[in-house]
Amino acid sequence: MLSLLSLPNELIQEIGLVAEVPDLKSLRAVCHPEFKYHRIIFPIPLIEDLAAHRTPIARYVQRLSVVVSTQRSPLTPKFDRKLRHNRPALGQLKNDLWPALASLINVVSATVRFDTHGIRTIPAWAIDDIFQGLKHLPLLEDIYISQPDPKLPFLSSIKHLNGLRTLHWGGSGHYHRTVEKALSLAIAACPNLSCLALDGDSMSVNGASYISHTHSQYGYRLCRLLRYVSPDKPLPLTYLDIREWNVSHSVWLYPNLRSLQTLIIRDGCDVSPHFWNGLVKEHIRIPDLTLVVGTDPAPLHYLRSNKGMVRLVLCTGLKDFRGDYEQVERTGKAFFKDVLPLLSGTLEELHLKPRMRGKWGYGDHAADSIAQCKQLKALGINVSDHDSMTSLLDFVKVLPALRTLYLYEVPAPAHPYFIPPIGTGALEQFRIRDTKSQDVVLNLEVILPHGVVYRPELMIDGEKPSWFFKRLQPNDPS
């Protein structure tokens, strides 16, 4: 990570959102009146250092919202581990931090990030004492909790936050019934919660997430999460993002989903067909939906009834899938033939991410049904060979509203004309993901329409590079 001290002041002011401060020198550098940060990250070692030197934290954070993280940055030096046993210093830390939190009482939108993963020097009881200071922030709206320690009962502090609107829960590494119950009680105490992101017991094999049969039976369950919410006063949820959670039919669940605008179901979720059937029965329509489709027809049944859909992101199973590929292929064809035409009247954004072998139904059905989506403004497609490239890019020119095109996992070309030219000059931006730079340069002149200039930018999403091209307008000085 670049040091904040190495960035020009103009750039720091332009970013103006998040600043990670690894040391005291950087902290002083960003705490000037002209800097308008909404959020600042405090690694635990920095807080330790401030406490050890008796430096009042409130002096630095009274104008900022606080993000407390125990993740150690490579640039963060290791401080004296004796602080773990230095109760006076820890007491001073608490005395310093509480006024800092209290000083944020007038901040309408603040963020607290609590990450106990990799904790080293401060014992659990001290962390819990510190986070009791949440009750000093009644106006706090956003909390991000990553890798919580199940032994820390800090979730009880959330009950003081009646104004909490956003909660990101990062998972505890293993399933714990006590954590699930505490989280359920905390959510029930937040009547204004509108945005909820949940990441359960994440496991990995060869870089692919999965949820085992044991976790399917005993893992975190969405229905149990909302059991303490009164059906007469459901949560006003508009955004729900879940990963590695079990989703099944429940009478506690559906009242809280009636105002949902965005539902994201990521890899590793064990979703019961009864959940989708329940959405149909309860007439719950979700304009923005991300889901994984395997061989179960229930999600397609729900999509047929989900009138007014604006955005759809469709993935086909997990990367380590070992099931029936032919059945998945049939599911893809059924989607293009029977489902997508029903959504074509309102759909503005469509992303198709098949991660199985084969084309997942690409062909005449795919081209014809996507071509019916005349309102489509953004399209994301996965291409695996020359045939799929040709068939999918050929109909781009028949989509009059299309402005953004995403290409996922473009294969290395055998010759410069492997990728056919985009047959329209109306595109404002497009993105090529997981592509080597030499392949992009090799095909750049072929991909772009003649007479249209695009500015390339390299984006890094995790470890995967993406090339992002934005069209330059005639009066654009850049």
Per-residue pLDDT of the chain (478 residues; tens, 9 = 90+): 333 334 344 333 333 334 556 666 666 665 555 444 444 555 555 655 665 665 555 555 444 444 444 443 333 333 333 444 445 554 555 555 555 444 443 333 444 444 444 333 344 444 455 555 555 555 566 676 655 555 555 566 676 667 778 887 776 556 667 777 878 888 888 888 999 988 875 433 333 333 333 344 456 788 888 889 988 999 999 999 998 888 988 888 999 999 999 999 987 788 899 999 999 999 999 999 998 877 788 999 999 999 899 999 988 654 445 556 677 677 778 888 889 999 999 999 998 876 544 444 455 667 788 888 889 988 887 766 555 556 656 666 678 888 887 776 665 555 444 444 555 556 666 666 555 544 554 444 445 555 555 555 555 444 455 555 665 555 444 4
The pLDDT score that the predictor gives to residue 274 is 93
* Locus of tokens 């291409």: 383
The pLDDT score that the predictor gives to residue 190 is 86
The pTM (predicted TM-score) of the whole model is 0.70
Domain count of the fold of the chain: 1
The pLDDT score that the predictor gives to residue 136 is 55
The pLDDT score that the predictor gives to residue 270 is 84
Return d(Cα 392, Cα 14) in angstroms, integer. Answer: 39
The pLDDT score that the predictor gives to residue 288 is 96
Q: Which domain holds residue 155?
A: 1-164
Return d(Cα 214, Cα 216) in angstroms, integer. Answer: 5
Residue 192 lies in a domain: no
How far the first Cα of the chain sits from its last, in Å, is 28
Residue 55 lies in a domain: yes
Residue 234 lies in a domain: no
Residue 299 lies in a domain: no
Return d(Cα 374, Cα 396) in angstroms, integer. Answer: 11
- Beta 66-69 vs 203-205: how paired, if at all? unpaired
Residue 67 lies in a domain: yes
- Can you say whether residue 324 is alpha, beta or left, with left for phi > 0 and alpha for psi between -120 and 50 degrees? beta
Residue 179 lies in a domain: no
Return d(Cα 95, Cα 86) in angstroms, integer. Answer: 14
